[in-house]
Chain A
Amino acid sequence: MNEIAIKLVNVSKNFGGIQAVIDANLEIKERSIHVFMGENGAGKSTLGKLISGFHKPDKGEIYVHGEKFHGFSSPLEAYNKGIYMVYQETTLCPDLKVRDNLILGSEISVKLDRKHEEDLIREKLTPFSVNFELPSLEVKVSQLSSVEKKIVDICRGLIKNSKIFILDEPTSSLGLKETRVLLKLVEHLRDEGHTIIFVTHKMEEALQIADYITIMREGKIINTYPKDQFQDKILLRDMVGEDFQEKNIARNIDRISDNKPLFKAFNFSGKVGKTKINNVNFELYRGEILGFAGLVGAGRSELFSLILGINKKDSGKIFFEDKEIKDLDPLLAIRKGIVYLHEERPKNGFLDFTVLRNITMPKLGLKPCDFVSHSVVIKKKERAFCDKVISDFKIVGTTNTLLSSLSGGNQQKVLLAKLLTLNPKIIILDEPTIGVDIPTKNYIYSLMNSFADSGGSIILISSDTDEILRVSDRIIIFKNGTIKNVLKNNHNKEVILNLLLLDNNEEVKTI
């Protein structure tokens, strides 16, 4: 059997009182692909970063090829031990050429020796380039596609003679085809004799490439399975824990109360950054939760930035309460009762103020407002209002707590409370449960249900298929910037996954 490349003994790490990793014990075998899987916030990335030396463990020991370390003081030290981490956010210099990025930091002399660099690149990457055509060395990294960047990043590790690669959510920014290329490459790396730690939350990928899967939940290592014991149900149970049962409770209330849609988007097209949106039409009914399922990067968030007028659309009409709204913009949307929770919390008008100021900020400009009289804020009423919101939404914190000092889950509750207290007719939730703990997740689902029950409409954008299946009334399958299917939620995960992963004429990999 293969030797052990990395061994963790009782490794723990906490960040400002939050236990990110608790007593991790683990052995990682050489020449294997070892997947760390878990939901967002399970601690899998932190564990990867502890091994890479990016973080230093608070306690516990890390052994690399039997040599003991109390964690590395810096990533550089880890490099020297042959450990290379490909971070989720690419750590390449976009303005430098591929070749310069490959060599950066490994220059041998003050004056650049380009000949030597070329030889080095050729020598280290030859086993690779037989099977993988590498991007041209003379191109700037900013011009590469996402997968090309990942590949260049991996190659950089090869140049540095690394034997152990830690890939942190490498496919999160990739499309389906790109993902396949990357997975193929990872397998190739293993076959060449490297050890790979692959951090992901995507079950499909894990099952496809892993030799071992370690499941993490809430900072703890739950179980490690070798390849012959992979079973998606068991893995899923380990990932979500006790909530597994509840997660699959079907919601069969057909609450679409009238036949006329509340909101209609017609023929939306446009371009946001590199993402193209093509001819999107959909309807939203009163009291409905409409799920937008899709892979990361499908263009769902971009669609709504076109609809809300954050980015300029090429074409598209909006009908709201039977009237056409021309040129919706974010402010007008709030006035009309359409609010949007952005997927990135900092973009949600996440103000570095107290909870109170965050909650009441959007209301100050709206008329009528209970606690503003003749442009003067009545502090007492504002505080009373805010106290009520905090107790209503079970936020752990007080009016005067800084929002940034709250936990992720509580921050999300504050942001949701901010939107819901505007009495909206439609809320658009973009990945509302990312980085949120499981109890808060469930609480958010119950908030969504009660909002819909009371006649509000919700658009839920989520890459978490289980989440979509759990709360949606109808599901829209969104792919490559357009709507592929619209279907009633029949709580059949396989159907949804097939639609999501099936790519035109390519065969589906069912699991």
Chain B
Amino acid sequence: MWNKCGIENVNLRRGWKMNRTWLSTITGSTLFYTTILLIGYFIFIGFISPAFLSPNNIALELQHAAPIAIVAVGELGTLAIKQMDLSVGGIAEFSGVLVVMFINNGINLPLAILLVLGIGVGIGLINGFIVSVGINSFISTFAVFEILGGLSLVLTKGWPLSANSSFFTFISNFHFLGLSGQAIYAVIITVIGGIIYANFRIGRYIYAVGSNIEAAKISNVDVKKITYLVFSLSGILAAFSGIVSASFLNVAYSDVGSNYALPAIAACVLGGASLFGGKGNPIGAFIGAFLITIITDGLVMTNASPYWHDVVVGFILLFAVSMDLIKRRQY
């Protein structure tokens, strides 16, 4: 190591050069492999069904990926501080149900949305509190998921709940530059998230907490505050995802989010996050969510039964976390 660095004498004059090139930096990142996987998949699916790659279909895929992508950007924060949020699906379905109920009960749309987003933040703060106290986030957020999923069922009695507002559905369904509202929200949230993580103090603190909590503490980073913050961010984005999903069909389903948490975690890890904390970025999470969506949607093109969906997502998650572990072992 030492000699490789070119150090010949104790004086340590010039010559402490890192022999790590940009190339090794890139090939060391999960996102690099995910991108290759994405391109490879495009080529593969392009042979089977060229129509899959048409701009219209890509826009459709973006729209499909949007709810998971939005959730994943929030999830990322919790993974980056070495926790996880399994309650996102519960928050999403609860929010969808609530917003429709609010609208149907005469509360005006902006207020209904604000209220629900506020509830999302509140649930996130509760999650943050539980985790700060020292309870394992894996269990506690799973419990919150169960509670909220159950409450959604109680509120709807299991039936789809349609909204009697024509404007509500417009939120997700307007089109701009060929993209649906849903996709546009996902892109905007990802970009804002990307800027915050890269350029704001808070992003650095989040990585620091996940990377080495002791180091963060002695560096004046308020670990509790960061924990509350990432969980409330995850909460508000999950709530927003639920609103957007309900608006898309103009109907709130009480089980819409049952399949959110794991794909969101897989998306984050594919995009460079680590279950060991300290890594990841929203743009990667977005790409991960997009990859998962086109792979599962592409199943239709290969004439596989759509029931394979969960099997495929499971394997993608296993693949992603294995990559994470293998990379970690290298150091």
Contacts and interface: CB of A to CB of B under 8 A. Distances in A.
B177 interface: no
Contacts of B10: 180-181, 184
Contact of A184 (B1, B11, B215): B11
B220 A76 contact: yes
A107 interface: yes
A89 B219 CA distance: 15
B216 interface: yes
A120 interface: no
A484 B167 CA distance: 81
Given A112-B201, A133-B13, A142-B331, A95 B218 contact: no
B218 A75 contact: yes
B212 A92 contact: yes
Interface string B1-38: 11001010011111111101000000000000000000
Given A96-B208, A184-B12, A91 B201 contact: no
A175 B5 CA distance: 15
A90 B277 CA distance: 17
Given A107-B201, A181-B7, A91 B12 contact: no
A177 B2 contact: yes
Contacts of B14: 133
B20 A91 contact: no
Contacts of A79: 220
Contact of A110 (B7, B201, B207, B219): B201
A441 to B, nearest CB: 31
B206 to A, nearest CB: 11
Nearest to B279: A95
Q: Name the residue in A100, A104, A112 with the highest tally of chain B Cβ atoms < 10 Å from its Cβ.
A: A104
A193 interface: no
Q: Name the residue in B15, B16, B203, B215 with the highest tally of chain A Cβ atoms < 10 Å from its Cβ.
A: B215
Contacts of B202: 110
A139 interface: yes
Q: Name the residue in A106, A111, A131, A185 with the highest tally of chain B Cβ atoms < 10 Å from its Cβ.
A: A111
B13 A93 contact: no
B258 interface: no
Interface residues of B, number: 38
A188 to B, nearest CB: 10
Interface string A76-92: 10010000000001111
A93 B201 contact: no
B210 interface: yes
B20 A93 contact: no
A134 B199 CA distance: 24
B211 A93 contact: yes
B204 A96 contact: yes
B215 A93 contact: yes
Contacts of A10: none
A142 B328 CA distance: 10
Contacts of A106: 220
Nearest to B4: A145
B20 A111 contact: no
A162 B97 CA distance: 56
A492 interface: no
B16 A145 contact: no
Contact of A104 (B5, B16, B18, B221): B221
A104 B207 CA distance: 11
B207 A96 contact: yes
Contacts of B310: none
Interface in B204-241: 204-205, 207-208, 210-212, 214-216, 218-221
Contacts of B5: 145
Interface in A54-101: 75-76, 79, 89-96, 100-101
A212 to B, nearest CB: 23
B200 interface: yes
Contact of B220 (A105, A109, A111, A135): A105
Contact of A91 (B16, B18, B199, B215): B215
Interface string B120-136: 00000000000000000
Given A92-B212, A94-B212, A110-B201, A133 B15 contact: yes
B74 interface: no
B242 interface: no
B67 interface: no
A143 interface: yes
A178 interface: yes
A112 B199 contact: yes
A110 B200 contact: yes
Nearest to B278: A95
Nearest to A142: B331
B20 A139 contact: yes
Given A91-B215, A92-B215, A105-B219, A145 B208 contact: no
B11 A131 contact: yes
A245 interface: no
A5 B88 CA distance: 54
Nearest to B5: A145
B227 to A, nearest CB: 16
Nearest to B16: A133
A93 B216 contact: yes
A132 B12 CA distance: 6
B98 to A, nearest CB: 32
A136 interface: yes
A203 B32 CA distance: 49
B210 A95 contact: yes
Contacts of A105: 219-221
Contacts of A75: 218
25 contacts: A79-B220, A89-B214, A93-B207, A93-B208, A93-B212, A93-B216, A93-B278, A95-B207, A95-B210, A95-B278, A100-B208, A101-B215, A104-B204, A104-B215, A105-B220, A110-B202, A132-B12, A133-B13, A133-B15, A133-B16, A139-B20, A142-B331, A145-B1, A181-B7, A184-B12
Closest 7 CB pairs of A and B: A105-B219, A95-B278, A133-B16, A93-B211, A105-B220, A95-B211, A91-B215
Interface of B: 1-2, 5, 7, 10-18, 20, 199-205, 207-208, 210-212, 214-216, 218-221, 274, 277-279, 331
